[in-house]
Amino acid sequence: MSNLFNEVSRHLNDDVIMQLARQIGAQDPNQVKKAAGGITEVMLDVIAKNANNQEQGGGLFGAIERDHDGGILGNILGVLKGQAQVNNPKTMNGEGIINHTLGNRVMETAQIVSKYSGLNVFKSGVLMELIAPIIMGVVGGQRKSNGLDLGGLAKVLMGGAQQRRSSPGSGLLGKILDRDGDGSMMDDILGMGMKALLKR
């Protein structure tokens, strides 16, 4: 099974990045590409943690099974441009996805993605909502094509997260977020975000 980060990156090709840049009003596609990589890393790590948690995993798996079968991946550009529709409206509910996965840490995450990529925080937040359905599509597509149950999906996700952290030069945003090295990015996102807010 392919590394999910690489799989998401493959779907976020230059044409998709250019379209995303146009939609959020970004001048530099390279900033959008860097931000997209950071968002993908954070989202996959958080989804992995949730899948590996007995209480949260069932709800996450149910949502993936119901709303994210990977169908969006067949025509991402068409969907982004409004020229193609998905069968299930929840598939494209990027705001709902990031609120569900990140909870009250959405703004803090957007701030860190902004600092990491140079894209302003508002555009980083909108980009998170646009990319979230694509990330979930890749995760859901893997689940469907490989017939994974929750345990199998958690194993794939956690394996990818560990691989990113151990690969030289990769996992940069994860390493920045998890500065105390305890593997808990979300605590660090909250702490760094609060410091950023206090400096305003």
Mean pLDDT of 46-51: 84
In the block, residue with structure tokens 């090295």: 181
Which letter does DSSP use for residue 12 in this model?
Answer: S
Band the pLDDT of 194: cuts 50, 70, 90: very low
In this prediction, residue 46 carries a pLDDT of: 86
Which letter does DSSP use for residue 92 in this model?
Answer: G
Least confident of 4-8, 95-99, 186-190, 194-198: 194-198
Query: Coil, strand, or helix at residue 148?
Result: coil
pLDDT at 56 over 90: no
Pick 150 or 112 by higher pLDDT: 112
Question: Of 133-137, 152-156, 190-194, which one has max mean pLDDT?
Answer: 133-137
Contact 188, 178 (CB under 8 A): yes
Mean pLDDT of 152-158: 81
134: which residues sit within 8 A by CB, 6+ positions away? 8, 11, 12, 72, 73, 76
In this prediction, residue 117 carries a pLDDT of: 93
pLDDT, the chain, mean: 81
The predicted model scores a pTM of 0.80
Q: Measured in whole angstroms, how far is the alpha carbon of residue 164 from the centre of its chain?
A: 14
**CA–CA distance, 95 with 81 (Å, rounded to integer):** 18
Q: Measured in whole angstroms, how far is the alpha carbon of residue 181 from the centre of its chain?
A: 21
Instruction: Give the helix ranges, DSSP H, for the chain.
Output: 4-11, 14-24, 29-51, 54-67, 76-81, 94-102, 106-117, 121-146, 150-166, 172-177, 185-198
**CA–CA distance, 140 with 148 (Å, rounded to integer):** 10
- Best CA proximity match to 136, nearest among 33, 77, 51: 51
CA atoms within a 13 Å half-sphere pointing along the CA-CB vector of 184: 6
In this prediction, residue 158 carries a pLDDT of: 78
Q: Taking the domains of the chain in order of start, what are their residue ranges?
A: 4-198
